Structure 1
């Protein structure tokens, strides 16, 4: 049986076709849908353009494989858009990068940000960019569009349109990404929502059914699932013993649990089909390495050397020299943490001998690995048992030295996933199951 998976990413839209769980082909196109912000911190995209691009990509693959029987959808699970009573978008997509939750909250008496205020009011921990933080901000500032009757994620919107529905429904794995969600009960915390002025009836219904409709009179369409969970489904084969680290622009640590665990610094996210995914994200993640590359490029230009290839120069240095012993400690918190966006990075342990480009490169890679390893340590302290390390994302796939830093930090050999559109493949696997 063939299944199609669609992944609505922030910068790309991808689709993959599997047959009996085996990869056949994929298509990826740019998601050129960003709109000019109208407010400071706003990050929005054109929902209609995303829909058109996703449907066009699906049409392309259906033309080649008309016997596709299942369709799965995933995508950035924190962002939201508003819909009218006929199921049409009446707003842009407010992406997971929307930073208005970091702006001062008028309701706070001590200058808290909107995110900090909502977390203190609820006793829960949502992050800036999470859909219900964005929605609370929009409600308070009169920004919810006239005619809006509900909201959903972009994945829910695509799945709904594929099967001709007029109302969205959400899988718990996607709904949890909006915030203020009870992972153990797999439902929104309605008491908490009412306490912060959000009407639970405005949110879409949750479904425990895998499929929500039919596309093209044949293909069954699955409810959209979280992109973190979709990538995990694709990359990890032995979920009881393996954990996943992903390094792209950001970086994440994810591990499956058959019981609902609470681990400091990690979110407990429902897995589609049962169980939970413990997940933590580094806000800067793989971008830390890019910032170091840009620092070297700026230094070269200062010296009168114009270079567009700092990564090649860094790789060449790593290949020509062994790992030094006195690597400084780099804390790459350029954008803070999920828990505290005001934290900053640091470099310690510098001496006259180790203040070199080679040492800084290794320090940065070690720091990137250490940030995720701290999440693993918290998981182990809470009773987690998984030990085998799986790696995914271009940051690891394109840098064997970064892989070595992760192996050192986790004291485990790292095995790379095949890297072929993991989120889209995970959605296809879920739909085919």
Structure 2
């Protein structure tokens, strides 16, 4: 490979997402994101059943390598490589660390199937282990696969796609993870800082090896024998790291395929959490040892994708053509007349209630219009995230500490109406990083923190910059 850059403080970050692989190049000496881009990976596999969601693990790895090699050709050499990606999914590996199954993604809902005793599998698993395990989490998916005989012969271990990619890029044979990803796989014990081995053993035979969990990030190996590849981290945490300059005073709303609202426990000073987490607000590990509180939606930008698909279908049925239905949505004005539609965008359920479904209400003779639909869907996405904030009591108890509301993800960045509704709901201007692919930027910063032995957000303050979001409405 030909390396054109000579700056030694350059790092590459990869984000292996649900629909695309993203890459970012960060120069910590210059305090800059040199480039961030994304490519569709096309790894989707056909669904044998409606509740399945599988992806080709080999194709995901090839796409990640291709993006990394492109970055190296133009911006190398790098001091380190960071990896993140879609969380909760699971795949099976053999004794050499090779994938022998597809990736069962976080959208795979087989754990909501009814077991032989008449209950959903995820409820059976929760009673069996005494731990909450949501549909789509790797532990729940694996539990079902054990019961239906879907674990491939030769399987010796399990891991997520981020651990798998980091292992393959590093040239090692055993997956290594950190608490941010281990928590997302399920049956994780935060007090031990490791998986709960007794809970995993209760899933049934065969007992497969789990990734090693390391509390502090480390170098796993070297890409092409030269460039350090670091411990991967969760995409939610990576997006927070790549988007937030002031972690003690900020909350992040990230809307891509799914959506999350996230804030660190430092927003609450030294006080212990005293708000209601029963509505689905989760405590997730963060790379520097703090706790990231997260309210996660299963739909997010996927709801807007479905609306865009409907618009395109109507135009085609009417004999017209449309290159990009998102541009039609972008032409909708910033305000529409009352009364507004009430849209529930939980089209794929929620983590607390997998069976809940979306709806459109308050329809009148005046408001069943395209503009009202676009505003209703955007407000519905905002409502689900805002409910984590107000429904848990965070707004009353700790809301005064919030100074900055930051938005990330392709739906936030490109959809003007969504940004306007989000800012109105929280009563604060919405800041957006000037670069795209915030999770990939966070992965690069994570690698820099490991290699340079520095604090994560000391690096983030040097790199994260806010400005006008670019790109067409999408």
TM-score, length basis structure 2: 0.83
Gaps of 5+ in 2: 1-8, 450-474
Q: Pick which of 250-259 and 218-227 moved more.
A: 250-259
Aligned to 2:152: 145
Matched, 1:380 2:388: no
Q: 1:354-393, aligned counterparts within 5 Å?
A: 354-377=367-390, 378=392, 380=394, 383-385=397-399, 386-387=401-402, 388-393=404-409
| Residue aligned with 1:202, SS | coil
| Residue aligned with 2:247, SS | coil
CA distance in 2, matches of 1:297, 1:84: 44
Aligned to 1:396: 412
Q: Pick which of 127-136 and 178-187 moved more.
A: 178-187
CA distance in 1, matches of 2:416, 2:63: 34
Aligned to 2:361: 348
CA shift in 2, pair 1:51/1:308, >3 Å: closer
Deviation of 1:125 after TM superposition, in Å, equals 2.6
Matched, 1:191 2:198: yes
CA distance in 2, matches of 1:286, 1:37: 21
Deviation of 1:197 after TM superposition, in Å, equals 2.9
Aligned to 1:60: 70
Q: Pick which of 280-289 and 36-45 moved more.
A: 36-45
CA shift in 2, pair 1:289/1:160, >3 Å: closer
CA shift in 2, pair 1:302/1:74, >3 Å: closer
Matched, 1:74 2:81: no
Q: Pick which of 15-24 and 340-349 moved more.
A: 340-349
CA shift in 2, pair 1:164/1:364, >3 Å: closer
Answer whether contact 1:169 1:205 (CA < 8 A) is retained: yes
| Residue aligned with 2:173, SS | coil
Answer whether contact 1:47 1:89 (CA < 8 A) is retained: yes
CA distance in 2, matches of 1:363, 1:49: 37
CA RMSD of aligned residues (A): 2.6
Deviation of 1:375 after TM superposition, in Å, equals 0.7
Deviation of 1:235 after TM superposition, in Å, equals 0.7
Aligned to 1:248: 256
Matched, 1:257 2:265: yes
CA shift in 2, pair 1:143/1:413, >3 Å: same
| Residue aligned with 1:145, SS | coil
Aligned to 1:98: 108
| Residue aligned with 1:104, SS | coil
Q: 1:234-383, aligned counterparts within 5 Å?
A: 234-258=242-266, 261=273, 263-264=277-278, 265-300=280-315, 307-318=322-333, 322-377=335-390, 378=392, 380=394, 383=397
Q: Equivalent of 1:170, from 161, 172, 177? A: 177
CA shift in 2, pair 1:327/1:2, >3 Å: same
Deviation of 1:413 after TM superposition, in Å, equals 1.5
TM-score, length basis structure 1: 0.90
CA distance in 1, matches of 2:211, 2:157: 6
Aligned to 1:214: 221
CA distance in 1, matches of 2:396, 2:193: 21
Matched, 1:46 2:56: yes
Q: Equivalent of 2:141, from 134, 145, 154? A: 134
Answer whether contact 1:75 1:227 (CA < 8 A) is retained: yes
Aligned to 2:433: 417
Aligned to 1:432: 448
| Residue aligned with 1:397, SS | helix
Answer whether contact 2:156 2:208 (CA < 8 A) is retained: no
CA distance in 2, matches of 1:297, 1:48: 32
CA distance in 2, matches of 1:311, 1:144: 40
Matched, 1:30 2:45: no
CA distance in 1, matches of 2:284, 2:53: 24
Q: Pick which of 284-293 and 232-241 moved more.
A: 284-293
CA shift in 2, pair 1:213/1:310, >3 Å: closer
Cα deviation, 1:212-253, whole Å, max 9, x if unaligned, reads 333144432211100111111001111111111122232211
CA shift in 2, pair 1:196/1:214, >3 Å: closer
Aligned to 1:408: 424
Deviation of 1:283 after TM superposition, in Å, equals 1.8
CA shift in 2, pair 1:238/1:38, >3 Å: same
Matched, 1:227 2:226: no
CA shift in 2, pair 1:324/1:78, >3 Å: same
